[in-house]
């Protein structure tokens, strides 16, 4: 099939590259000419494991190309994906202006039969608005143009794997014709075991927010439990294992730490709560989920202060700056929020990240960024693990202890074994673990 993908951010680019692997002819379109230039040279504009290879394969097969404007590709496309950003407004609501703009730009070039796919995460009701915009621009458009919702569930850092081997493909639509086109598009993935779920449009839109908010709730639940464990002398990691053995609960997303961040959970949770309020339902649980997430960073800061007393003239090394491992994305990264709080209290903060150093530096120029983990630790009074990169799990602890000014470790992601840390002479603060505050 011929496919156009509007927006080449994380979702759009991975979608475009994946669909080209399924033998579709794909054009990725983006207003950002610099990004398009990079992509035309076969380079991914951001780090995502496996994506660079897919882009190269797509380009050499001739099935994946990029353009800043491609009216012909829109006209001839069987399926057009809208993957533009939906950032949060200051009110917390999703800003859908980019979706409207994309629809206006598409409208003059549409020629059916075409399925216009809303792939970006949006509040329920957006697809109807999208259709309205298309019809206002082109009143003659008829059933040959179908709008469907097909939310993505890919995770940064695992996006290629998630796209090539999804558990489910959710499509919200109104006509058999549209469902059939989407089945045809994803046929190789369905054959490989992906569950194809058909719903009405509002249900598909709401389901995406429901999934992200539920996952955020699981994490916040565990972080609240961590606060309790620290007071009760229990170990939240062991409780997570116990809970995880119950298939009704599941082990995933029960890791306590600095909390959730990134481009999706923070904005989606807020947008979901705002949508709910607009529809007349007070979904207060979502606000509590957010509050507990903020508390997770505050609790980590308290441990640093407990260990160092005054932060002035203290050097604090943050290990991991991305919002989670295997990505260079620092948007709403808990590590940077913590860095900001430490800087506000006049600590000297140095960060290290295997991939996200440059992004962190441009997001927060006042942060010193080291290019090697031991350089970051050199002379630091405290080491704080903010993101659980594998590199930190295999840290040479003796070397680390040797270069640190004080052997203090605040483990914001529970990557180390408390007993081992104590035996190596560290003053170790875990997250929600009984060993907190015990000195060696």
> Which residue, 59 or 321, is less far from ligand UGA as judged by CB?
321
Name the minimum Å distance from CB 364 to ligand UGA.
Answer: 17
> Which residue, 30 or 156, is less far from ligand UGA as judged by CB?
156
Q: Is 177 helix (H, G, I), strand (E, B) or coil?
A: helix
Tokens representing residue 417 in the block? 């074994």
> Which residue, 71 or 92, is less far from ligand UGA as judged by CB?
92
Tokens representing residue 143 in the block? 């059933």
Q: Judge contact between 100 and 133, C-beta under 8 A.
A: yes
Active-site residue (options: 83, 229, 264, 382): 264
Name the minimum Å distance from CB 264 to ligand UGA.
Answer: 3
Give the closest residue to 120 by CA, choosing from 205, 45, 177, 216. 205
Q: Judge contact between 191 and 244, C-beta under 8 A.
A: no
Name the minimum Å distance from CB 215 to ligand UGA.
Answer: 6
Catalytic residue status for 229: no
- DSSP string spanning 341-401? HHHHTT-EEEEE-TTTHHHHHHH-TTSEE-SSHHHHHTT-SEEEE-S--HHHHT--HHHHH
> Which residue, 264 or 383, is less far from ligand UGA as judged by CB?
264
Name the minimum Å distance from CB 250 to ligand UGA.
Answer: 11
Tokens representing residue 422 in the block? 């104590």
Binding site for ligand UGA (CB under 6 A): 121, 152-156, 212, 215, 219, 253-255, 257, 259-262, 264-265, 268, 323-324
> Which residue, 45 or 262, is less far from ligand UGA as judged by CB?
262
Tokens representing residue 256 in the block? 């306590």
Tokens representing residue 232 in the block? 């009760």
Q: Judge contact between 390 and 356, C-beta under 8 A.
A: no
> Which residue, 253 or 374, is less far from ligand UGA as judged by CB?
253
Tokens representing residue 64 in the block? 């994946």
Name the minimum Å distance from CB 260 to ligand UGA.
Answer: 3
Q: Judge contact between 256 and 326, C-beta under 8 A.
A: no
Q: How far apart are CA 11 and CA 306, in angstroms?
A: 41
Q: Judge contact between 121 and 268, C-beta under 8 A.
A: yes
Name the minimum Å distance from CB 121 to ligand UGA.
Answer: 5
Would you name the residues annotated as active-site residues? 264
């Amino acid at each position: 099939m011929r496919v156009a993908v509007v927006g080449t951010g994380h979702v759009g680019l991975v979608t475009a590259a994946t669909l080209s692997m399924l033998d579709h002819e794909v054009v990725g379109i983006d207003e950002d000419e610099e990004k398009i230039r990079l992509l035309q040279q076969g380079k991914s504009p951001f780090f995502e494991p496996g994506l660079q290879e897919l882009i190269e394969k797509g380009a050499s097969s001739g099935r994946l190309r990029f353009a800043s404007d491609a009216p012909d590709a829109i006209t001839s496309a069987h399926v057009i994906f809208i993957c533009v950003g939906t950032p949060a407004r200051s009110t917390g609501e999703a800003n859908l202006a980019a979706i409207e703009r994309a629809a206006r730009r598409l409208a003059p070039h549409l020629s059916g039969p075409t399925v216009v796919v809303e792939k970006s995460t949006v509040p329920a009701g957006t697809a109807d608005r999208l259709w309205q915009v298309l019809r206002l621009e082109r009143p003659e458009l008829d059933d040959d143009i179908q709008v469907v919702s097909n939310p993505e569930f890919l995770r940064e850092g695992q996006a290629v794997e998630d796209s090539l081997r999804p558990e489910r493909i959710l499509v919200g639509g109104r006509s058999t014709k549209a469902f059939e086109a989407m089945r045809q598009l994803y046929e190789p993935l369905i054959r490989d075991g992906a569950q194809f779920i058909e719903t009405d449009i509002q249900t598909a839109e709401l389901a995406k927010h429901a999934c992200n908010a539920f996952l955020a709730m699981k994490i916040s639940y565990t972080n609240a439990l961590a606060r309790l464990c620290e007071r009760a002398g229990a170990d939240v990691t062991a409780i997570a294992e116990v809970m995880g053995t119950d298939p009704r609960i599941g082990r995933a997303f029960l890791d306590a730490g600095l909390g959730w961040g990134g481009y999706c959970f923070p904005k989606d949770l807020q947008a979901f709560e705002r949508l709910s309020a607009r529809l007349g339902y007070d979904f207060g649980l979502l606000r509590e989920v957010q509050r507990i997430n903020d508390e997770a960073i505050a609790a980590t800061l308290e441990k640093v202060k407990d260990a160092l007393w005054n932060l002035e003239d203290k050097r604090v090394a943050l290990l991991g700056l991305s919002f989670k491992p295997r990505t260079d994305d620092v948007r709403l990264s808990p590590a940077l929020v913590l860095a900001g709080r430490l800087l506000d209290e006049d600590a000297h903060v140095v960060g290290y990240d295997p991939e996200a150093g440059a992004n962190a530096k441009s997001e927060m120029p006042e942060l010193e960024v080291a290019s090697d983990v031991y350089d970051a630790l050199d002379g630091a009074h405290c080491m704080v693990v903010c993101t659980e990169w594998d590199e930190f799990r295999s840290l040479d602890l003796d070397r680390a202890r040797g270069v640190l000014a004080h052997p203090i470790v605040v483990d914001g992601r529970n990557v180390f074994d408390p007993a081992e840390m104590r035996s190596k002479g560290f003053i170790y603060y875990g997250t929600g673990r009984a060993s907190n505050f015990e000195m060696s």
